[in-house]
Amino acid sequence: MSWKILESKSRCLNLVKFCRNSGHDLISTSQIFFSNKSYYSVGQKPNQNLDVHNPSEIQTKWYELWQKKLKEFNKNDDRKTFSMLFPPPNVTGNLHLGHAITSTIQDAIVRWKLMNNFKVFWIPGYDHAGIATQVVVEKKIWNEKKMTRHQLGKEKFVEEVFKWKEEKSQTIKEQMIKLNTLNEWDYQYFTMDKNISDSVDEAFIRLFEKGHIHRAFRPINWCCSLKSSISDAEVENISINKRTSLKIPNYKKPVEFGLIYKIAYPVENSNDEIVVATTRPETLFGDTALAVNPDDSRFYKYHGKSVRNPLTNEIIPIILDKNVDKNFHTGAVKITPFHDINDYETGIRHNLPIKQIFNEEGCLINVPKEFLNVPRFEARLRVIDKLKSLNLLREIKEHEMVLPVCSRTGDIIEPFLKDQWFVKSSQVFKICNESVQDGSLKLIPDFRANLWNHYVKTYDKDWCISRQLWWGQKIPAYKCWPKSDKINFKWFAAHTKAHALKKAYDHFKTQDIEILQDEDVFDTWFTSTILPLAALGWPNNPNSNRLPYEKLYPTNLLETGFDIMYFWAYRMVGMCHALSGQIPYSQILFHGLIRDSQGRKMSKSIGNVIDPIDLIDGASLDELKNRILTSNLDNREKMISSKNQEKMYPNGIEAVGSDATRLALLVQDFKTHSSNTCLEVLRYIVNPSFKAAFNQYSYSSGSSYFKLVWRMDKFLYLGFH
C-alpha cells in the first residue's frame, strides 16, 4: 500500500525530486503539486470552492485520515522501520513555539520517511518535570487557597499535582493534534506511568549492581526554598557588576550583593594579622583554615603558623596550596569546606575538618547563641556589625561576581554537603566520545561537535541523581542493618522492600534486619535519559499490543534543541549504552533556540510566549492578556507581561491555520544558535503576499510561499536514512 498524503506517494516525491534535480521553475512545479483537484481525492471534499484553503474545514479532516492510514501502513511487516521520540514536554503548562518548531521539523522528517516507504513510529510523551511542576502547583495552591504544600500535606498535595498533570497532558495532546503531527498515539507515555517507573527502577538497580551508581557525601547545588538539591541545568549564573539589591524568597527586605568584605584574622602568638577578602562573611563560623600560595613571599614568615577565627576565637592553621591565586585581593583565602565546592576539594587535599553551619532551610547552626537559627543573609548583616565592634572589618567595596540562582524559585544556591546517589560519569559517558569519534553517532549540523567535545573534556564530575521532592519517583534503594549492629549498614537496590530484605538476609547471614527506604526521588533527567528504552517497553515488553522494544530500539534519530545537548542528548547516549550495549540513536539533529526580536528567550513573565494554537485559531489581545492575568505569575510580572503584549500584539493574533504556521516555522534557519522566531513567524504568516499565496494559491503573487516549499525540500534533503 502506498502512503497517500495527497493522491499518491509519487506526487509528493515528484515535487521535491524534480525541484532539486532539474532546477525547474518552482511556480509551475507547485501548480502541479497543489492545484490539481485530486488534492481531495482520498478524503471527503469540502462543500466549498476547492481553490480556497479553509484551515478549519480541511485540516481536521486530513488529520483523521492521516492517523487511519498511519496505523494501516505500520501493520505491514515488509517495510523498514523508522522510530523517533518526540522530546516529552513538561506538564508545567501548554506548548509554545519552541515545541511547535520541534514538532514541525520532526513531522517533516516523519512524512519524508513515510513517502520513502518506511513504517514510522514517532513516540509522543509527557515529562513529570519534578521540580518545575512542584513549584508551579505550589504557586497555584497558594494563589487559590493561601496554603503552602506543608499546610496542605503531602498526600493531598500530590493529588493536586496529578490533577494538574491530567489537565495539562490532555491540553498538550490537543495542541499536538491541532498542529497535525503524525505521532503514534497508541505508544504515548507519561514519565511516571507504571511501566516507565518499572524501567527506571530496573535501570537504577542494574547500574548500581554494575558499580556505575554509588552513594557519596559530596557537594551539591542546594536550594533552600525547595529544600532540595537541583541539577546544573536549573542553576542560572547571574553576573553582578556593582552593588546590587535583589529580592530573595523568604526575606522581607532585598539582600545586597556585589560586595566584598576584607576581614582581619589575628595571627596566633603575634600582633600581626592576615586580611582575607570574602563575599560571604556569614560563613566565617565554618572556617577550618586560611590558605596562601607557598610561592607568595608576603606570607613566608607565616608558614606553619595559625590564626584565630575573628568570630569564634578558634585556632585554625595557615595552609600552603598552589591553587591559591596570589593576585586575588590580599592573596590569602578562607577555607570553608562544607559550604564551598572549591574549599571542599582543598579540605580533602589537606585533610581539614568539615564544619556545617547552615541547615537545609539556610539558617545558622553550630554557632554562638546570638547567631543561632538566623537566616543566612540576615546573619551576614549581624556578622558585619560584630566585626565592626571587634575592629576586625578592614574594608567593604564593590566587587564583580557571578551569583548562582535557582531558576525555579529565584533563591541563591547554597553549596551543600549531603549523602546522595551519583552516576560515575567517567565510566558511563565514555561512549559519548567514542561513538562520535568512530562515526557510529553523527551530529547535525557538524559544528555542534565542538560543544559536544567541550562536554567530553570538561563535564567529567559525577552526576547527582537524588532530589528531595514530593513530586517524583522514589529511588528504589534500601538501607539495611542487623538490629544488633546499627553502624554496620549496607545499601541495596531492589524493586520492592521484600526483594531488598532477601538481599540483606543473604549478605548479613541473619533475618533480624532493620530496613529503611531512601526518601529521595530521582532527578527528572535520570528518568529522561533512559526514555529511548523505557518508552519502548524495555526490558520486559509489558504491553502486548505494541511491537517488542527490540523492533524499535535503537531509534533512528534524535531531534532536539541544542540547549539540552548535555543534560539529555549526551547523557542518553551513555545511559542507554550502559544498559543495552547499544547507543540509542545513530544521528542527532540539533536546532537553535527560539527567541523574540530582541534576542530574549520565551518567558511568560515577559509576555513574549506564543501559543501555536493562537496562530492556528487566532486570539484577541483581550484573550492573550486574560491568560496572563489568571496565571501563576506575581503581580509585577503580570503587569510587565501585559504591557509587552499590548506592544507586540496590539490587534491580537490573526488565525492562519496549522499548515501556514508550520511552513512559516520551516522558513527559519534552524541550524543557527538561535532564531528570532516569535515575532518573525507572526509577521511572516500575516504578510499579505503569504496569505494570498497560501489561501488562494495565487501563483503570480505567491513567490514567498514557494520559497518556503523550496526551504522545506532543502531541509528534507539533509540525508536521514
Beta strands in 165-234 (DSSP E): 189-190, 213-223, 228-230
Q: How far apart are CA 295 and CA 300, in angstroms?
A: 8
Q: What is the pLDDT of residue 334?
A: 97
Number of domains in the chain: 1
For residue 535, pLDDT over 90 is answered with: yes
Residue 607: inside a domain, yes or no? no
What does the pLDDT average to over 220-249? 92
Average pLDDT, the chain: 84
- Can you read off the three cell numbers belonging to residue 232? 546544573
- Domain boundaries, position 390: 259-399
Residue 336: inside a domain, yes or no? yes
Q: How far apart are CA 32 and CA 11, in angstroms?
A: 9
For residue 692, pLDDT over 90 is answered with: no
- C-alpha 99, offset from chain centre: 13
Residue 328: inside a domain, yes or no? yes
260, 382 Cβ separation under 8 angstroms = no
Closest to 114 measured CA to CA, from 76, 86, 166: 76
Spell out the residues 6+ positions from residue 503 whose beta carbon is closer than 8 angstroms to its own.
Answer: 480, 492, 494
CATH code, domain with 307 = 3.90.740.10
Residue 332: inside a domain, yes or no? yes
DSSP H or E run through 478: strand 477-482
Range in 130-139, 370-379, 488-497, 616-625 the model is least confident about: 616-625
Q: What is the pLDDT of residue 61?
A: 72
Tell me: the pLDDT tens digits for 296-315? Answer: 999 999 999 999 999 999 99
DSSP 567: I
Residue-wise DSSP of 314-379 = -EEEEEE-TTS-TTSTTSEEEE-GGG-HHHHHHHHHHT------B-TTSBB-SS-GGGTT-BHHHH
Residue 570: inside a domain, yes or no? no
Residue 315: inside a domain, yes or no? yes
Burial label for 272, CB within 10 Å (0-12, 13-18, 19+), is: middle
DSSP H or E run through 634: none
Helix and strand totals (H; E) in the chain: 25, 29
Confidence label for 671 from pLDDT (cuts 50, 70 and 90): low
What does the pLDDT average to over 353-358? 94
Question: Structure pTM?
Answer: 0.85
Spell out the residues 6+ positions from residue 475 whose beta carbon is closer than 8 angstroms to its own.
Answer: 204, 421, 465, 466, 518, 520, 521, 522
Say whether 675 sits in a helix, a strand or coil: strand
- Can you read off the three cell numbers belonging to residue 612? 501555536
Residue 323: inside a domain, yes or no? yes
For residue 113, pLDDT over 50 is answered with: yes
What does the pLDDT average to over 356-374? 95
Tell me: the pLDDT tens digits for 65-76? Answer: 888 888 888 887
Strongest mean pLDDT among 20-29, 544-553, 632-641: 544-553
Residue 517: inside a domain, yes or no? no
For residue 503, pLDDT over 90 is answered with: yes
What does the pLDDT average to over 500-510? 94
Length of the chain: 721
Q: What is the pLDDT of residue 58?
A: 67
Q: What is the pLDDT of residue 709?
A: 44
Q: What is the pLDDT of residue 70?
A: 85
Range in 35-44, 70-79, 470-479, 485-494 the model is least confident about: 35-44
For residue 174, pLDDT over 80 is answered with: yes
Confidence label for 598 from pLDDT (cuts 50, 70 and 90): low
Tell me: the pLDDT tens digits for 577-596? Answer: 999 999 999 999 998 887 76
Parallel, antiparallel, or unpaired for β 81-85 and 119-123?
parallel
Tell me: the pLDDT tens digits for 18-52? Answer: 333 333 333 332 332 233 333 333 334 444 444 45
Say whether 8 sits in a helix, a strand or coil: coil
Of the chain, the end-to-end C-alpha distance in Å amounts to 21
Q: What is the pLDDT of residue 603?
A: 62
